[in-house]
Amino acid sequence: MYKKAVLKDRPSLLNAHRIPINQIRSQITGLEKQVPLINRGSRPYINFDNAATTPSFKSVIEKVAKFSEWYASVHRGTGFKSQLSTHIYENCRKKIMQFVGADTKDHVAIFTSNTTCAINNVCQHIELKDNEVILVTIVEHHSNMLPWRVNCPVEYVDMFDSEGNFSSKKLEEKLRTSQKKVRLVAITGASNVTGCIPPIKEVSRVVHNYGAELLVDAAQLIACRPVEMLSLDSPERIDYLVFSAHKMYAPFGVGVIVGPRKTFISGRPYMVGGGTVDLVTLDDIEWTDAPERDEPGTPNLIGVVALIEAIDVLRKIGWDFIVEHNRFLTKKLLEELRKLPKITIYGKCDPDCSVDRAGVVTFNAQGISHALLAAILGYEWGIGVRNGCFCAQPYVIKLLGLDQAAVRNYAEQIREGDWSTVPGMVRASFGIYNTEEEIDYFIEALTSILNNGTQVSYTVNPQTGEYSPEGKTPDFNQYFSV
């Protein structure tokens, strides 16, 4: 189990659990690929958009290629390859449960296609009584907000104290004073906007004290911190955990729900069709047992094998390295950004607080729009970041301090099809393979852009809000075609 270690400086990283970064990088696909720079040839791509999706582990691709020789129909196939495929699929389920510290007796693992589908699924299974509501925090990704909003009565909680720390006190207050009975609290394991990590065990105790259940959206958390769901009678348990494999170096279209078995054997399955039933007549349907009942159609066995291989690689690398490296990069970027005069960082920006955040840093630069800055970093410097609202508009609106009039104004522009002035931020997010040299280069790029401007002229497409260099469209077919 990972022990808390404060990363004060580079030597502590060197001494503790140090794995040469090149050893990690050699396990990732495509890092050597050169991307074009406008007017300056090419250079190896720097991917600082890992919160959106991570590249693949090489061994994941190799495992998939190897397994594809045995791949056959899962469930109910009678041939040897089918039986082997079913055996592998069910073994993967057990490994997932072990990975998240679930209770194999009372929990069930269900494979979906991503976190979004996973949350939509859980949502359909929560049958609310009159006077019951779902409590959602205001920092949530739309995928952990909209499914609840369109299906259930929802209330919101802003869990930050006056210092910007995630605190369970406000949650406690909300639960204590709510007129309605809170049935479930839906919270992110780590924000995809600011990287802040709520104290999940503390949150869990509060939630369970008030007789509610806890869903943790671990899309951002799962590849950067160890997660333990604990047994269903633990006051610190996570009742429902959801995450996506494509953020764990296994980009083959799998998502996961782990939750109490009893939830998934009542009511109607989330999606219905082949595989979800025991019996169908023209008058009757008998749904099958969990987890198959919630895995309609042919399962994504290849994707599940890929995910388990990625988990094995993460395990071999070890949480000590993953956590410390993540903290080291975050601290370094925060320190460097704070030295630049025109930068506003969002969320907690004290580098020594990087212990509480995943490797996600969002910022804006004075005098240049987030969309233009992100475009220049990509086209002129070969750095991939993300800009905009990161599918978390309520949180971004709060962080930007936009009032209702400002929101109405940009909503009107969007309705008219003009995205060119939509507010947002720039986000840099790390994977386990990013380096401090990449951060140095990123800072060099930012400094140059802020001091010297752009090397070419850019135009904005009002329909998308994206900037591109005038007259310089990349020839993608030169790199890859289908």
Ligand X SMILES: Cc1ncc(COP(=O)(O)O)c(C=O)c1O
Residue 115 engages ligand X in binding (rule: CB under 6 A): yes
Q: Which is nearer to ligand X, 56 or 116 (CB)?
A: 116
As measured in angstroms, the least distance from the Cβ of 82 to ligand X is 29
Helix/strand/coil for 389? coil
Spatial separation of the C-alpha atoms in residues 363 and 345, rounded to whole Å: 4
- 135-194 residues in contact with ligand X (CB under 6 A) are 141, 143-144, 188, 192
Q: Could you tell me the CA-to-CA distances from 87 to 64, 90, 161 in Å, in that order?
A: 16, 5, 49
* Secondary structure tally for the chain: helices H, strands E: 14, 19
**What are phi and psi for residue 386, nearest 5 degrees?**
-130, 150
For residue 145, the one-letter residue type is M
As measured in angstroms, the least distance from the Cβ of 216 to ligand X is 10
As measured in angstroms, the least distance from the Cβ of 110 to ligand X is 14
Residue 220 engages ligand X in binding (rule: CB under 6 A): yes
Q: Which is nearer to ligand X, 125 or 141 (CB)?
A: 141
**What are phi and psi for residue 71, nearest 5 degrees?**
-60, 130
As measured in angstroms, the least distance from the Cβ of 52 to ligand X is 6
As measured in angstroms, the least distance from the Cβ of 150 to ligand X is 16
Residue 305 engages ligand X in binding (rule: CB under 6 A): no
Spatial separation of the C-alpha atoms in residues 338 and 331, rounded to whole Å: 11
156-164, 215-223, 322-330, 474-482 -> range binding ligand X (CB under 6 A): 215-223
Q: Token pair for residue 6? A: 């404060």
Cite the beta strand spans of 11-106 per DSSP E. Answer: 34-36, 42-44, 46-47
Spatial separation of the C-alpha atoms in residues 245 and 267, rounded to whole Å: 28
Q: Which is nearer to ligand X, 192 or 354 (CB)?
A: 192
Mask: binding to ligand X, 116-145, rule CB under 6 A, as x and -?
A: x------------------------x-xx-
Torsion sign over Cα 117, 120, 125, 126: positive
Mask: binding to ligand X, 37-76, rule CB under 6 A, as x and -?
A: --------------xx------------------------
Spatial separation of the C-alpha atoms in residues 20 and 449, rounded to whole Å: 32
Q: Which is nearer to ligand X, 254 or 290 (CB)?
A: 254
Q: Could you list the residues that contact ligand X (CB under 6 A)?
A: 51-52, 114-116, 141, 143-144, 188, 192, 217, 219-220, 244
